[in-house]
Amino acid sequence: MAGDKGSGIVESYLVAYNAASFVGWAYVLVQTTLYLAEHGTDLSGLFDRVGLPLIYVQTGAALEVVHALIGFVRSSAFTVLLQVYSRLLLVWGTLYYFDRPEVRASYSLVLMIVAWSVTECVRYSHYALALLNINIPALLYLRYTLFYVLYPAGVAGELLEMWAALPYAAVIHPLLKTFFLANMAGYPPVLYKLYTHMIRQRRKILGGGRAVGAGAAAAKNKKRL
């Protein structure tokens, strides 16, 4: 009984965490959309509008590493750390640190924000609902289909953001520029690994008649894909 109670508390916490993360990313997406509708190609105020919410909600994803470490979810803590690390480098080491229009007022920033926020809105809402045993086939389909476009789009935005920061990193210290270049060089193999993994998961979950049930079970186990 005590175990069931503990499990229920953990599950309730995960529902709350995923729901809060969804709300945060939805806010970033809505505010970005509104800004673009209001200002068009003038991106000079975009970071002022969504920068801090973006940084905060992405930083919250660091908890996913903790979730994996303490066994709240069945995920590899190392794999989660790699995924979270690259984004934290972008929001703190690039966006927050370099107050430059090439970094904070660029189309690459728009591309990155849109790719991230759409991906995470779908992912977190899917996880939260699955934990509540609410299965929405359309959401499951989006979860395992949008990555075809959003993964390459997000990576392109991230790489362009780092590239824009390189001259300013070099001014601080040549090793900082080298550090950014080393991180950029690691993107292709990581993208390939994640992309092919998601393709396999898509075939497994959407490829047969038991797609919805399998998808719900995968989400309930909270594997970070």
Instruction: Catalytic residue, from 120, 127, 144, 158: name it.
Output: 158
Listed in sequence order, the residues at least 6 apart from 20 whose beta carbon sits closer than 8 Å to its beta carbon are: 60
Instruction: Catalytic residue, from 96, 141, 151, 187: name it.
Output: 151
Contact between 70 and 44 (Cβ < 8 Å): no
Reply yes or no on whether 151 is catalytic: yes
Nearest to 45 by CA among 1, 5, 101, 93: 101
Contact between 183 and 162 (Cβ < 8 Å): yes
- The amino acid at 199: I
d(CA 78, CA 49): 33
Reply yes or no on whether 17 is catalytic: no
Contact between 74 and 59 (Cβ < 8 Å): no
3-state secondary structure 23-86: HHHHHHHHHHHHHHHHHCCCCCCHHHHHHHHHHHHHHHHHHHHHHHHCCCCCCCHHHHHHHHHH
DSSP state of 182: H
Q: Which residues are marked as active site?
A: 151, 158
